[in-house]
Amino acid sequence: DFILGFTQIGWYAWGTATIAIVLVKTLDLSPSLETPLMIFFGFAFCITAMIGYKGMDYLSRLAVPAMLLFILISFYKGMADLSGLGDVFGQAPTTNMSMATAITIIIGTFVSGGTQATNWSRFAKSGKVAIWATLLAFVLGNGLMVVTGALGSLIYQQADIVDVMIAQGSISLAILMLFLNLWTTQDNTIYNFAVAGCNLVRTDKRRLVTVLGAAIGTVLALGGMYNYLIPYLILLGTFIPPLGGVIMADFWVKYRGKYPALDSAALPNFNYAGLIAYGIACACAYFTPVLPPVIGVLVAALVYGALLSSQMKVKTATI
């Protein structure tokens, strides 16, 4: 709960800082307005999350189709501009990034949403609907955003869709896109934080936890979170995947692919074997130069599996 809550509050802080900074830059406002704008949006963005799932549902019904339309308009303008730029795909990069760092950043970008996806899919009418909705969201939805960002970088030297729209002269659409994109992201993010926080401290006061999370995110935004996105993504790509390794090993090695009913399972307060495996895997992922997320998952699964096997041998010997 603490780790997953941390991933969400970091995103919330970055989004809160982003909208204030971009608005000041786009509308040519006084830089002194950044702080009050961060405070305003830091608490305003959590309103739909305080309402709950229905509040976020209604917002998404309006925002997602509108954003899709804006993206298609921008994509069309970009392709029109691309035709007159010659061999744009032959451009050489000005900076380099190692393959391990690139993969870690990519996984860090999506691992947060991936670990939280069940907060939404659990409301689906059936398992089939949950699977297809998730696939469409991650593959088509996020895929379209990534492609648009890549083309924006090539054509306009701007990776953010809002900056691309500004470069295309669509300032009004850019501001609308900024609001809708960040609002739909922020309310999901702070809702996830509230879910993890309520479970961590064993309380049902979700709205209070939501406001407290918004306050923490706002403080982090004021502290300069906007400038630490890449290091933050690297941290996520390093320390979140090992959780998956422990969970998979627990599911397949300990329970042989079938968890017992929740009401019949006697769960310990702490799974020390899992915590030890997670700690070792995080250390390996952090210090390895080769694909930290993959190393973290593999080490976590192997160490946890080994600890489970030793526990089972001790129980057998005792009997």
- For position 304, what pLDDT does the model report? 96
Q: Contact 217/13 with Cβ under 8 angstroms?
A: yes
Cα 25 from Cα 154, distance rounded (Å): 22
Q: How far apart are the first and last CA of the chain?
A: 36
**Alpha carbon of 254 to those of 241, 246, 249, 257, 299: distances in Å?**
19, 11, 7, 8, 17
Angstrom distance (rounded) from CA 292 to CA 69: 37
Tally Cβ neighbours within 10 Å of residue 110: 16
In the chain, the DSSP E strands lie at none
pLDDT in tens, 73-85: 888 888 777 766 5
pTM: 0.79
- Structure tokens of 29? 């406002």
In this model, does residue 155 exceed pLDDT 90? Answer: no
pLDDT category at 101 given cuts 50, 70, 90 is confident
Under 8 Å CB-to-CB from 154, ≥6 apart: which residues?
A: 82, 88, 89, 91
Q: Is the pLDDT of residue 64 over 70?
A: yes
Sequence-distant contacts of 271-277: CB under 8 A, at least 24 apart: 273/304, 273/307, 273/308, 273/311, 274/246, 274/250, 274/304, 276/303, 276/307, 277/242, 277/245, 277/246, 277/249, 277/301, 277/303, 277/304, 277/307
DSSP 8-state code for residue 291: -
For residues 40 and 185, the model is more confident at 40
Total residue count of the chain as it appears in this document: 319
| Both tokens assigned to 315 | 């129980």
Mean pLDDT of 10-26: 91
Q: How many CB atoms lie within 10 A of CB 114?
A: 15
Q: How far is CA 2 from the centre of its chain?
A: 15
In the chain the domains, ranked by start, together with CATH numbers, are 2-87+97-227 (1.10.4160.10), 240-319 (no CATH)
User: Which segment of 120-124, 208-212, 291-295 scores lowest on mean pLDDT?
Assistant: 120-124
- Smallest CA-to-CA distance from 244 within 299, 198, 290 is with 299
- The Cα diameter of the chain in Å comes to 78
Average pLDDT of the residues of the chain? 86
Q: With beta carbons less than 8 A apart as the criterion, state whether 18 and 228 touch.
A: no
Q: Interhelix angle for 292-318 vs 229-239, to 10°?
A: 30
Task: Read off the tokens for 25.
Answer: 């830059």
pLDDT in tens, 230-278: 888 888 888 989 998 999 999 998 888 887 776 656 677 788 999 999 9
- Please give the average per-residue pLDDT across 4-23, as a whole number: 90
